[in-house]
Amino acid sequence: MCGIVGCIVKEQAGRVLASGLERLEYRGYDSAGIAVVTDDGIRVRRRVGKLAELLDDFDYDAFDGKVGIGHTRWATHGKPSEGNAHPIQDDTGDVVLVHNGIIENYKEIREELEGKGHVFATETDTEVIAHLISEIMQGDDLEGAVRETMRRLKGAYAIVVLHRRLPDRLVGARRDSPLVAGIGEGEYFLASDIPPLLEHTRDVLLLEDGEIVSLTPEGVRVTDLEGNTIERQPKEIEWNLLQAEKGGYPHFMLKEIHEQGVVVNDSLLGRIAEDGTVRLPELDMDADAVAAIDKIVIIGCGTSWHSALIGKFLIEELAEIPVEVDIGSEFRYRRSILGPSTLVLAITQSGETADTLASMRKARAHGARTISICNVIGSTASREADGVVYTQAGPEIGVASTKAFVSQLIVLNLLALHLGSMRGKITREASKEYTDELRAVRGRVETLIERADELDPIVDSYKHVDDFLYLGRGINYPIALEGALKLKEISYIHAEGYPAGELKHGPIALIEEKMPVLAVATPGETYAKISSNIDQVKARGGEVIAVVADDEANPPMGVDHLIRVPRCRETISPIVNVVPLQILSYRIAVARGCDVDQPRNLAKSVTVE
C-alpha cells in the first residue's frame, strides 16, 4: 500500500531517500514526503501528487544530514493533501514518523490524547502514533516508547520513527504490515519493500510481527515486545529490481491474489464492534434515513458489476430492501425511476470509470443519494458521491481485478448487515455470528492460495481449449461471470458465464464432447438444482469441473475434476469461491504464454466512453 524508506548513511540521506521513493513508485501513491535530521533539527518536506512535485526542486543542501525517513502515501484516512502526507509529527515536533497500514482504534486514542491537551493537525490515523510516543516517552528511551505504543495500537502497521533528541537513531516496528532492514557497509536502511534497498545492499533482515528494530551508525538491533534481543542473520536477496517490485512473484496479478487474505482483514478493520455490530459511519445515515430507503440501485462495470450483482443478493437477503443492478454504460442512457428515497451505490475500484461516474451524476441529478464503494481515496467517485465507503484493497496494479473484487464483497456484506440491523431485520446475535464468519474468511482464502497446485491437472487438461462455459446459481451466478471474465481477459480463451438454470434455454446447444464446463456447486438453496444441471452437461459429453465444499458428502456424480473449497455460509461463499477461479485463469494464461499483467486491448482504468 503506502511505501516506507529510512536510512542512516555516510553521505546525504536526502538523496538516498529520494531514490528509494522512486523505487516504491510502482505501488501507486497520491502524496509523498521526506524528513532528514539536520544540524537545525528535523526538516520535513511533503507534497501532494507525483514524486516530481517533491523532488524536482528539492534542496538537498538544506536537508543535509545522514539520517532520515521517506514515504509515499496511498490515502486511507484523510484525503490526499500536504497536511495529511507523511512524515507526520506530534505537536511538539519531537517525534516524526512514517506509517503504513490502518490504526483501528485511532479515534479512541485521539480523544484520550486531546483530553490531555494534545493538539492534532491532520485527519490521519497515523498522527495518534506520533502523539502517543511523545506522551509515553521517558528520558531518551525511544525504543521503549515505541514498544509501549504498540501495546496500545489495534490494527495493522509498519512505522519508522525519528526523535529530535536522538539525531543518530531510527526506530521501526511492525504488525501485519511488512518492514525490512538492509545491512550495508556501515550504512543501514529500513523499507516496506525490498526495491529501495537493492542499490545499497542485498543483505536483508526480514522483521516479524511484534518486532522492534533500532538503527544507529553502530548497527541494527531487533527486539521483541518484552525487550528481549532477537538474534537473526541477514538473508541474501537475489532478486533483480523488477522481481523485487513484485515481491518475488512473477506477476502483479499473482502478488495481488496472494494479498487477498490480508485484504479481507484490512477491509474489515475498524468496522466491527466487539458485540458484532457493523460500524459504517461513512454512510452518514441514521435509522430514519435508512428506514426511508425504498429502493437501492447498484451500478458498476466489469468486475465491479459482478460485485453489484452479489450486492443485490446480500442486501435483499439481509436487509430486505429491493435492489436493482445496472451496468454503468446502460444506466446512464436509460430512463430511470429515481428519487430522494432511492439509494444509489456506485462500485468502482479506480473511482475513475467514465460510465460509472456519469451514472452517479445522473442519479444525483434525479435527487437520489449516492454512495461510492471505492478503492482510491481522492478519486473522482469518492469526491462526487454523497458518501464513500473505502474498500481498503491497496493499490491494484494487475489489469485483471482480483483483490479489489474480494474487498468489494467484504464491504457489501458489511453494508447489507448494517442496513439489515438498522431496519431491525438482523439481531445483534445474528450480526455477531455473521461477522465472526467474515473474520474467518481470511484463513479460508489463504488456505485456497496455499493449495493452488491442486489446480494443475485442470490447467494441463484445458490450457489449449478454445471455449469454456462457467455455471453458477443464485449468489454464485456472478462468480460464474467473474470466473469467465478472468479467463477470457488474460488467456484469450472464449468463456461465457451463465446462470445454470438458463442452460436448457439455449447454451446447452454448445455442449459437445470434451467441452469444459466449470460449475460452482457449493452448499446453498440451489445445490440440488445445479447438481442436476451438471448431469445434463455430462449426459451430452461435456467435461465438468465442479467447485464443491471440501466436506461435501454428495458431490455431483461423474464430474471430471473437483475443486474443493472450505465450507461457509452461502452469502459469504462467493468471496471464497472466486479464489480458485482467479488462480485457474492465471495459471492457464501463464501456460499459454500470455502477458498476464498487461492483457491486449485492456486498460486498468476506463476513463473514456
Residue numbers at the binding site for ligand F6R (CB under 6 A) = 301-304, 348-350, 353, 356, 400-401, 485, 489, 605-606
Rounded CA-CA distance 73/299 in Å is 29
Nearer to ligand F6R, 45 or 362 (CB): 362
Rg (CA), the chain: 25
Say whether 568 is catalytic: no
Tell me which H or E stretch contains 37.
Answer: strand 31-38
Rank residues 553 and 608 by Cβ distance to ligand F6R and give the closer one.
608
**CB of 329: closest distance to ligand F6R in angstroms?**
11
50, 90, 44: which is closest to 63 by C-alpha?
Answer: 44
Q: CB of 399: closest distance to ligand F6R in angstroms?
A: 6
Rounded distance, CA 294 to CA 400, Å? 35
- Map 58-109 to HEC letters: CCCCCCCCCEEEEEEECCCCCCCCCCCCCCEECCCCCEEEEEEEEECCHHHH
| Residue with the shortest CB distance to ligand F6R | 302
Q: How far is the CB of 200 from ligand F6R (least distance, A)?
A: 36
Q: 253-280: string of b/e by CB count within 10 Å (b at 16+)?
A: bbbbbbbbbbbbbbbbbbbbeeebbbeb
Selecting among 2, 7, 374, 568, the annotated active-site residue is 2
Q: Which of 154, 432, 488, 604 is catalytic?
A: 604
Q: How far is the CB of 592 from ligand F6R (least distance, A)?
A: 17
Q: Which C-beta is closer to ligand F6R: that of 191 or that of 357?
A: 357
The minimum distance between CB 304 and ligand F6R, in angstroms, equals 4
DSSP lists the bridge partners of residue 97 as: 88, 161
Relative orientation angle of helices 127-136 and 106-115, to the nearest 10 degrees: 50
Whole-angstrom distance, CA of residue 196 vs CA of residue 32: 15
Chain CA centroid to CA 482, Å: 18
CB atoms within 10 A of CB 433: 13
Cβ distance to ligand F6R smaller for residue 304 or 392: 304
List all residues 6 or more positions away from 332 whose beta carbon is below 8 Å from its beta carbon. Answer: 355, 358, 359, 362
Q: Which of 76, 304 has the CB closer to ligand F6R?
A: 304
CB of 416 to ligand F6R, least distance (A): 19
2 in catalytic set = yes
Question: Is residue 479 within 8 Å of residue 574, measured between CB atoms?
Answer: yes
Which one, 556 or 599, has the nearer CB to ligand F6R? 599
Q: Give the CB-side neighbour count of residue 175, counting CA atoms within 13 A.
A: 17
Residues taking part in catalysis: 2, 604
